[in-house]
Amino acid sequence: MITVAAHKVRQFGVEFYQASFSAADIDRLVRFEVLGYASPEAPRTKLPRRPSRINWELLEKRISRGEGAFQRPVIRRKIEDLLQYYRECQDAGNLPAIPGAVIIIAERRLKFTPGGANPSLGLLQIPEDQGILRALDGQHRLLALHAAAQELKAMEVPAVVFDNLDDRQIVELFVTINAKHTRLNPSHLISLAGRRLYADENQALAHDVIRALNETESSPLRGEIRILGVGRGKVSQAPLADEMVELLETVRKIGGEQRARELRDGARRFFLNYFKAIAGTFPQAWAGRKYSIKTGTALRAFMRVSPDVMAASREIKKDPFDAAAIRQAVSPWRERIGDSRFETEGPWRQKLAGGTRGTVETLVRELRDGLRHR
């Protein structure tokens, strides 16, 4: 058991502790983790790396990845810069390395014992279980400290410790701290919102469908979407999710709860079949490098006309999500629109003169018009 002096603070019914840990305690007790998916990775070109004083192989073994986490992927350069700063502070001896408190979440309730006349001051007991604490704010600072644990193990680190928050409160606190001050990526917010931040079934469905499009082996968009704002794809997750949420709301308003429920139940199947049909309808544009069909603008337009495609599929096979019916429904696009429409240096660039929003709406009109000529 580790015992540290602590100040118990109460705000709006929530209690937390202000305390100080040694770098050695931080190294032993804190678990590092990032939100991650099993997304397909693009082959990386091996480039010579600049020399680093950090053993990244050992450091990354301390970082777990999973859907129960909320932290963003680690930024290596940030850790290297912090480590350099810590060493400069140590050499100069005239500046504190971590003057501000990191925020830590305890995996279970901790025992606090008042130590005198003031019941808010006392001792906080923490079991010596490795990984019992999680970093909510300050993970990069603590990872840099971990990289230099042997030389800085006596350094004290101020911390705020929460031991009574549920998963929802933890994520809400994380987003509140990071959304403004450190410009949390919009795609990261989409993932947290849809999965855990609040109970919005449309956000959650949009997240799940986009993730399926990016990760399903047979998806023509596999690896093309930047989940959490990172990846090799050209398309950001956030605007696609916004488009899909708006689509779900539109279907509910126009078709009622029954039609909206039908779409929610079959959305994953529909969009996988739909984008396979699009890739087959515009094979040259889909596979070519000089086309803009796999951009956020084009994909948003395809999403926006999906109710029209579902209606056409329903007429053909009574099943709006049937792969063959969807292919037949969009087949007129091959002649009415064609691959050349998406040539970046051709019609696509000319249409861009009206701005992104205008371009989405222009393409939507063309796609809807094409569907009428089945």
Q: For 236-263, what is each residue's pLDDT tens digit? A: 877 888 888 888 888 888 888 888 888 8
Q: What is the mean pLDDT of residues 25-36?
A: 72
Q: Does residue 3 have a pLDDT over 50?
A: yes
SS3 content of the chain, % helix, strand, coil (to 5): 55, 15, 30
> For 268-279, how does the pLDDT look when each residue is reduced to its tens digit (9 = 90+)?
999 999 999 999
CB 213 within 8 A of CB 221: yes
Phi, psi for 14 (deg, rounded to 5): -110, 130
The predicted structure's pLDDT at residue 225 = 85
Confidence of residue 339 (pLDDT cuts 50, 70, 90): very high
The predicted structure's pLDDT at residue 272 = 94
Q: What is the mean pLDDT of residues 89-118?
A: 83
Q: What is the mean pLDDT of residues 341-364?
A: 76
Share of the chain above pLDDT 70, in %: 75
Q: What is the mean pLDDT of residues 328-356?
A: 82
CB 71 within 8 A of CB 170: no
Q: What is the mean pLDDT of residues 218-226?
A: 89
Q: Does residue 219 have a pLDDT over 80?
A: yes
The predicted structure's pLDDT at residue 199 = 55
The predicted structure's pLDDT at residue 255 = 80
The predicted structure's pLDDT at residue 39 = 42
Mean pLDDT, the chain, whole residue set: 78
CB 192 within 8 A of CB 171: yes
Q: Does residue 44 have a pLDDT over 50?
A: no
The predicted structure's pLDDT at residue 198 = 47
The predicted structure's pLDDT at residue 43 = 40
Quote the pTM value. 0.56
> For 64-79, how does the pLDDT look when each residue is reduced to its tens digit (9 = 90+)?
555 555 555 666 777 7
Q: In what order do the strands lie in the sheet with 133-137?
A: 63-66, 30-35, 133-137, 102-106, 156-162, 14-22, 2-11, 121-126, 111-114
Name, of 201-205, 234-238, 311-315, the range with top average pLDDT. 311-315
> For 300-310, how does the pLDDT look when each residue is reduced to its tens digit (9 = 90+)?
999 999 999 99
The predicted structure's pLDDT at residue 41 = 43
User: Which whole-number Å values give the CA distances from 110 to 164, 169, 313, in the listed order?
Assistant: 9, 18, 58
Q: What is the mean pLDDT of residues 345-374?
A: 77
The predicted structure's pLDDT at residue 240 = 86
Q: Does residue 180 have a pLDDT over 90?
A: no
DSSP letters spanning 20-58: EEEHHHHHHHEEEEEE------PPPP--PPPP-SS-HHH
Give bridge partners of residue 19 from the DSSP assignment.
6, 159
Instruction: Name the residue with higher pLDDT: 237 or 233.
Output: 237
3-state secondary structure of 113: strand
Closest Cα partner for 157 from 28, 64, 15, 58?
A: 28
The predicted structure's pLDDT at residue 62 = 58
Q: Does residue 89 have a pLDDT over 80?
A: no
